[in-house]
Amino acid sequence: MVPGHLHYITCSCYQRRPFLGTPARRNLFLEILERVRSRYQFVVVGYVLMPEHFHLLIGEPEQGDPSVVMQGVKQEFAKKVLRAMRSRTQPLQSRLWAEALEQRHIWQLPPLCFR
């Protein structure tokens, strides 16, 4: 990686579901982003959080690389959201959340050609 370069990153929630659709979830995402930013020492130039996806513009991390940074953000967010969803699961819960819990997905998987 080249120091000083910026990285534009975008990621969608699983099946475009609104996992970032509440203020509490957006705050959780930003808290996690800040912890990861501090750990890997990079600059957040800008971000946009939408209910079903996000965009980030970050500087080059001093430790790791952008893929490691995103792995940290996405894994921690998914673990916390899935744990919270499991604790509130009720028999009549909507299929939207039940399917996500069953499949354990919060983030959309990249197309096969990019794996």
pLDDT over 50 (residue 3): yes
What confidence tier does 113 reach under pLDDT thresholds 50, 70, 90? very low
Q: DSSP string of the chain?
A: --TT-EEEEEEEBGGG--TT-SHHHHHHHHHHHHHHHHHHT--EEEEEEETTEEEEEEEPPSSS-HHHHHHHHHHHHHHHHHHHHHHT--TT--HHHHHHHHHT-SBPPPPGGG-
**58 and 42 in contact (C-beta within 8 Å)?**
yes
CATH architecture of 6-110: 2-Layer Sandwich (3.30)
90 or 83, which is more confident: 83
Q: pTM for this one?
A: 0.81
Residues with Cβ within 8 Å of residue 32, at least 6 apart in sequence = 73, 76, 77, 80
**Domain boundaries, given as residue ranges, for the chain:** 6-110
Per-residue pLDDT tens for 37-58? 999 999 999 999 999 999 999 9
- Read off the pLDDT band of 111 (50, 70, 90): low
The yes-or-no verdict on residue 12 having pLDDT over 70 is: yes
Which of the four pLDDT bands, split at 50, 70 and 90, describes residue 83?
confident
